[in-house]
A and B are shown apart, each in its own frame.
Chain A
Amino acid sequence: MRKYWWKILAYLLLLTICTEGFLVKVPLLDGRLQQSIRNTFFHVPMWFSMMIFYIVSAVYSIIYLYKPGSKNDHHALEFARVGVVYCILGLITGAIWATYQWGDPSVWKTDPKLVGAALSLLIYLAYFVLRGSIADPGNRAKISAVYNIFAFAMLFPTIWILPRTTESLHPGGQGAEGNPGLNPNDASTNVAIFLWLGVIGWTLLGVWITTLRVRLQFLIEKKLHG
């Protein structure tokens, strides 16, 4: 029970998001976003969680370079992997939301936030290609740790800086309005509370999946090397 409490917490949080999230009162400003503002509890936490996973992954890679060990390598790999999964889910849900909110699928070509997110996804996918191309486990872990830190560094221009400096359909473009993810002054209390509950819940779910995959990696390692 002591080890399970955060998994139960994740379940309760996501159950709240997936039930009360549809019912909670949200502001309906002259019918622009209408009920689709509830996507804030699902689509936005994907990106928040993704950033958390990428940060943790980069930290494990840095630790690996100081203290090589398969534990750090497995954690860096699996946190990056779950980050990529959340990134893909965020892109798909964002594409659906954008189609009905911005009315034109061609925003893919023009919105800097979307282009930046797609770029960061490609950079992280290359991490897995790189891992797959090196057979020696020691070399693979070291080289991919260095690349992972580079991939993390590329998040700064692609999703944190460029979308803030140019015109974007996302909230907060052109750097004047603050955070492009969420402007705290714009969100109603309900939306903000459920957004943060969602961020915690979806992140815990991702952490759980990561821990399972890390344990799987250890099992594979044991099987391969006796």
Chain B
Amino acid sequence: MDKIKRTGFVIACCLLNVAAMAQGNTQAEDNSDFMRSNGKIYVVVVVAAIIITGLFLYLFNLERKIKRLEKEYK
């Protein structure tokens, strides 16, 4: 079950990417929306925030796995 969920998540992420690419081709460049304002620095902000979030989720997950092993070896 876990594996199916994970695979589904990856596929969903891939589809998100496709949707983003489709938009990139049709939308004209303009500085009116928030993400494109201020020299597009907010794009970097979002990327950095996602990396930090992902890193911490990874560590939480790792800690859970170690906890499970500790219980097993007790």
Taking A14-B52, A218-B70 as known contacts, 8 extra A-B pairs with beta carbons closer than 8 A to each other, sorted by chain A number, are: A7-B60, A10-B56, A18-B45, A22-B41, A209-B59, A212-B62, A216-B66, A219-B69
7 tightest A-B contacts by CB?
A: A18-B48, A11-B56, A19-B45, A18-B52, A14-B52, A222-B73, A215-B66
Q: Is the CB of B66 within 8 A of A18?
A: no
Interface size classification for chain A: 10 to 19
B49 sits at the interface (CB 8 A): yes
Q: Which secondary structure characterizes the binding site on chain A? A: helix
User: Chain B contacts of A209 at CB under 8 A?
Assistant: 59
A129 sits at the interface (CB 8 A): no
Closest to A216 in B: B66
Q: Which secondary structure characterizes the binding site on chain B? A: helix
B19 sits at the interface (CB 8 A): no
**For the complex, what is the distance from the CA of A23 to the CA of B39, rounded to whole Å?**
11
Q: Is the CB of A212 within 8 A of B45?
A: no
Closest to B51 in A: A18
Q: Which of B47-74 contact A (CB under 8 A)?
A: 48-49, 51-53, 56, 59-60, 62-63, 66, 69-70, 73
**For the complex, what is the distance from the CA of A19 to the CA of B47, rounded to whole Å?**
9
Interface size classification for chain B: 10 to 19
Q: Could you tell me which A residues sit within 8 Å of B by CB distance?
A: 7, 10-11, 14-15, 18-19, 22-23, 208-209, 212, 215-216, 218-219, 222-223
Q: Is the CB of B73 within 8 A of A18?
A: no
Q: Could you tell me which B residues sit within 8 Å of A by CB distance?
A: 41, 44-45, 48-49, 51-53, 56, 59-60, 62-63, 66, 69-70, 73
User: Chain B contacts of A222 at CB under 8 A?
Assistant: 73
Closest to B59 in A: A208
Q: Counting chain B CB atoms within 10 Å of each CB, which of A209, A212, A223 scores highest?
A: A212
**For the complex, what is the distance from the CA of A209 to the CA of B41, rounded to whole Å?**
30
The one of B41, B51, B52, B70 that contacts A23, using a Cβ cutoff of 8 Å: B41
Closest to B60 in A: A7
**For the complex, what is the distance from the CA of A222 to the CA of B71, rounded to whole Å?**
12
User: Chain B contacts of A18 at CB under 8 A?
Assistant: 45, 48-49, 51-52
User: Chain A contacts of B70 at CB under 8 A?
Assistant: 215, 218-219
The one of B44, B52, B66 that contacts A22, using a Cβ cutoff of 8 Å: B44
Report the minimum CB–CB distance from B50 to chain A (whole Å): 9
Closest to A8 in B: B56
**For the complex, what is the distance from the CA of A222 to the CA of B73, rounded to whole Å?**
8
